[in-house]
Structure 1
Amino acid sequence: MSLKSWWSNLLSSTPSAAELTDAALDSATGGALIQIEQLSKLYQEGEVRRTVFKEIDLTFQPGEFVVLLGNSGSGKSTLLNLISGIDRPSSGIIRINGVAITELDERSRTLLRRDQIGFVFQFFNLIPTLTVLENVTLPQELAGVSFHTAEKAALSLLTQVDLADRAYTFPDKLSGGQQQRVAIARALAHDPQLVLADEPTGNLDEETGQKVLKILLNLTRSAGKTLIMATHNPDIARSADRVLRVQEGDLVPVVMD
């Protein structure tokens, strides 16, 4: 599958807002952006059943920066996929803005992702045949936004990540740090309330990673967005409002030094 097709599958759908049915709505979230109740996720690996999460309860508040800390394979990425509706839990409920995404069909989950969630990945997932500007506008265009409107938002964000002068450059002409800054602009172009970042500095050297992290934090905090970041790096965790260690099927609060 090409990267463009992958992005299309992730974000492109044309359900109406009415498909977020009353049955999926619940206002009793206590002001939380995300509310997770009794969430479990199991995988069957041959004859072995692996428990990734077991009956966890958790909330994320608007504007909060939360780090999910843990080793590779601990379940950090799985939780991000569950929150975004890419993956389905074995049991339990996840609500975003009062919408129980675990009760939505696939097309409605796609609509919610498209409108409310931005993604930043370890591997930048830029489409090599598109320019920087076209990469940033792509998710909006898949959502039906006119190119003129998408271009205006994209150029503004590229200015904020200090890459306006590279708007018509192709990704292979950029450094790793520059490509990740493009990915950040792409994640924020549709003004999502929630940003999910999966090891966003994991493919960068320490100095470049720090610069990219600073840009991501500045842009999300200044706009009051919720940022949930998966990482194995405790230095990144020290910048967070809250740190949760993913271990043994649970999420354990951590107090950083």
Structure 2
Amino acid sequence: MARSSPLQTATSGSEPDNAQAFIQLDKLAKSFQEGMVDRQVLREITATFTAGEFVVLLGQSGSGKSTLLNLISGIEQPTTGQVTINAVGLSELNERDRTLFRRDRIGFIFQFFNLIPTLTVLENITLPQELAGASQGEVAKKAIALLQRVGLEDRGDAFPDKLSGGQQQRVAIARALVHDPMLVLADEPTGNLDEETGQIVLDLLLELTRSAQKTLIMATHNPDIAKLADRVVRMQDGHLVEDTRLGTAS
């Protein structure tokens, strides 16, 4: 009997039996070579996240938040340590399989939107899944439904430069959710928006992820956002210095 590969296990769509082990970070460290200097960015981070949690990574610029998100997503590989998601160790996957895992199971929302300027709103949302071989019609149907959820059902044919910053971020949220990921990572998603628009985008993101019981991990330096989280992980100089469970926010 042939053994299933780690990737096949990961993409089966099943949730782990033990929710406590949904995401496990085990002595995670990351360093970069800068000339003759080895710069340590993360220092042996160990933590476990449960399925369905809204976790805030709180810390100032340079504390290691974005690097940690990149390691959890598999965009970068740790220098030492392991990231395990849904019982799959990302370091056990080759580069291609890590890319497929990320494409199929993780949604990533960036501070600066990262929309393709030559594509329409609808095309920006559907392109990643169409490149993955999904049915164009089926993906478009899901994308249109998400545009309705984010209040942009009439802007599908518009190009990104015709949208406000808040509208562009709402498109980015729709793009991150169109493939129904089990995990959503957000790197300062309101950091490039004014306070009022940022609150609207944040409320929308929480509504969409909580209604679908998705795990959301968000990096921010804003303590007001942390008040809405189920759990706050405070980072400083590459260390995890505090891990506080606040209970499920209403």
Q: Aligned residue for 2:30?
A: 41
Picking from 215, 221, 243, the partner of 2:232 is: 243
Q: Aligned residue for 2:92?
A: 103
Cα distance in structure 2, aligned partners of 1:35 and 1:103: 14
Is the Cα–Cα contact under 8 Å of residues 74 and 90 in structure 2 kept in the other structure? Answer: yes
Q: Aligned residue for 1:193?
A: 182
Cα distance in structure 2, aligned partners of 1:55 and 1:19: 24
Q: Aligned residue for 1:141?
A: 130
The percent identity for this pair of structures is 67
Question: Deviations along 1:152-178, whole A, 9 cap, x unmatched?
Answer: 000010000010011111111111100
1:56 aligns with 2:45: yes
**77-86 vs 41-50, which moves further:** 41-50
1:183 aligns with 2:176: no
With over 3 angstroms needed to count, the CA separation of the structure-2 counterparts of 1:56 and 1:29, relative to structure 1, is farther
Task: Please identify runs of 4+ aligned residues in structure 1 that moved more than 3 A.
Answer: 27-30, 254-257
Cα distance in structure 1, aligned partners of 2:181 and 2:100: 12
Cα distance in structure 1, aligned partners of 2:6 and 2:205: 32
Q: Pairwise CA RMSD of aligned residues?
A: 2.0
Alpha-carbon shift at residue 28 of structure 1 (Å): 9.2
Q: Aligned residue for 2:156?
A: 167
Question: Deviations along 1:89-116, whole A, 9 cap, x unmatched?
Answer: 0111111111110121100001100110
Cα distance in structure 1, aligned partners of 2:78 and 2:17: 19
Alpha-carbon shift at residue 255 of structure 1 (Å): 5.1
With over 3 angstroms needed to count, the CA separation of the structure-2 counterparts of 1:112 and 1:233, relative to structure 1, is same
TM-score normalized with structure 2 length:
0.89
Q: Aligned residue for 2:76?
A: 87
With over 3 angstroms needed to count, the CA separation of the structure-2 counterparts of 1:240 and 1:141, relative to structure 1, is same
Q: Aligned residue for 2:7?
A: 20
Alpha-carbon shift at residue 18 of structure 1 (Å): 4.4
Q: Aligned residue for 2:191?
A: 202
Q: Aligned residue for 1:223?
A: 212
1:158 aligns with 2:127: no
Is the Cα–Cα contact under 8 Å of residues 40 and 238 in structure 2 kept in the other structure? Answer: yes
How many residues are paired up?
237
Can you give the 5+ residue segments of structure 2 that lack an aligned partner in the other structure? 10-14
With over 3 angstroms needed to count, the CA separation of the structure-2 counterparts of 1:157 and 1:222, relative to structure 1, is same
Cα distance in structure 2, aligned partners of 1:33 and 1:138: 29
Q: Give, as a single letter, the amino acid of the residue that structure 2 aligns with 1:54.
A: R
Alpha-carbon shift at residue 30 of structure 1 (Å): 3.8
Cα distance in structure 1, aligned partners of 2:202 and 2:146: 16
Is the Cα–Cα contact under 8 Å of residues 209 and 216 in structure 2 kept in the other structure? Answer: yes
Is the Cα–Cα contact under 8 Å of residues 29 and 35 in structure 1 kept in the other structure? Answer: no
Q: Give, as a single letter, the amino acid of the residue that structure 1 aligns with 2:233.
A: L
Q: Give, as a single letter, the amino acid of the residue that structure 1 aligns with 2:154.
A: D
TM-score normalized with structure 1 length:
0.87
Is the Cα–Cα contact under 8 Å of residues 230 and 245 in structure 2 kept in the other structure? Answer: no
Cα distance in structure 2, aligned partners of 1:20 and 1:187: 20
Alpha-carbon shift at residue 118 of structure 1 (Å): 0.3
Q: Secondary structure at the match of 1:123?
A: coil
Q: Aligned residue for 1:8?
A: none
1:73 aligns with 2:65: no
Cα distance in structure 2, aligned partners of 1:156 and 1:84: 26
Q: Secondary structure at the match of 1:92?
A: strand
